[in-house]
A and B are shown apart, each in its own frame.
Chain A
Amino acid sequence: AQSVAQPEDQVNVAEGNPLTVKCTYSVSGNPYLFWYVQYPNRGLQFLLKYITGDNLVKGSYGFEAEFNKSQTSFHLKKPSALVSDSALYFCAVTSGGYQKVTFGIGTKLQVIP
């Protein structure tokens, strides 16, 4: 069975500082990994995904994520946090094909002015 873990319920970071939101996964076969963001009272929005190729994936709003196969991780990063980045972030994994996508429980990011 596939699973994804987001070990931190909440991450606090000062505006302008780099941010990292952690994600580890477990899947049979090759992983396909996603990050989505949810702003209050809104649906999830796609940020980026890793399918194959470069381990560093660049996405929307200046976010990027690094796929690390040996550590089974896919951490989300941004060099300089904005207050507007404050939201709930979801990591997700699938093994592809007709397998459904499994979402993590979410990490609340709070960027402090």
Chain B
Amino acid sequence: DARVTQTPRHKVTEMGQEVTMRCQPILGHNTVFWYRQTMMQGLELLAYFRNRAPLDDSGMPKDRFSAEMPDATLATLKIQPSEPRDSAVYFCASGFSFQGTFGTDTQYFGPGTRLTVL
């Protein structure tokens, strides 16, 4: 049963510290998405990649957030420096896209990383 995995599942840190969240997409998938979920804002898309290339990161605060895919099996989301307002659940999702049908593909979500910044 293929699943998206995310580590860590929970992270508590102090303001100003660097936070790195990792995601392993389902083997064979070529799209990766990062979302942030909060009670106030709901589910927000932060970034997405296709074939490891970033297609859109307009939802991400550029001054402190960065997203990368070092290889096809690993996606990372970093926050440096972290702030209390970054406290949220961060989800990674993956999917498979044929060229031109990107938006219609089913996304498979990981269990999320619950981040608390004190």
A binding-site residues for B, Cβ under 8 Å: 32, 34, 36, 41-46, 49, 51, 90, 94-101, 103-106
| B11-19, B79-87, B99-107 - interface stretch | B99-107
1/0 per position for B20-52, CB-CB distance to A under 8 A? 000000000000000000000011010010000
- Whether B106 lies near A49 (C-beta < 8 A) is yes
- Whether B104 lies near A43 (C-beta < 8 A) is no
B75 sits at the interface (CB 8 A):
no
Chain B residues, Cβ within 8 Å of A100: 45, 48, 56, 103
Task: Name the one of B100, B104, B107, B109 contacting A51, with C-beta atoms under 8 angstroms.
Answer: B104
**Given known A43-B4, A43-B93, A105-B42, contact A99–B103 (CB-CB < 8 A):** yes
Of all chain B residues, which has the CB nearest A51? B104
- Whether B42 lies near A104 (C-beta < 8 A) is yes
Sort chain B's interface into a size bin.
Answer: 20 to 34
Q: In the assembled complex, how far is the CB of residue B109 from the closest CB belonging to chain A, in whole angstroms?
A: 3
- Whether B107 lies near A46 (C-beta < 8 A) is yes
Max count, chain A CB within 10 A of own CB: residue among B4, B42, B111 = B42
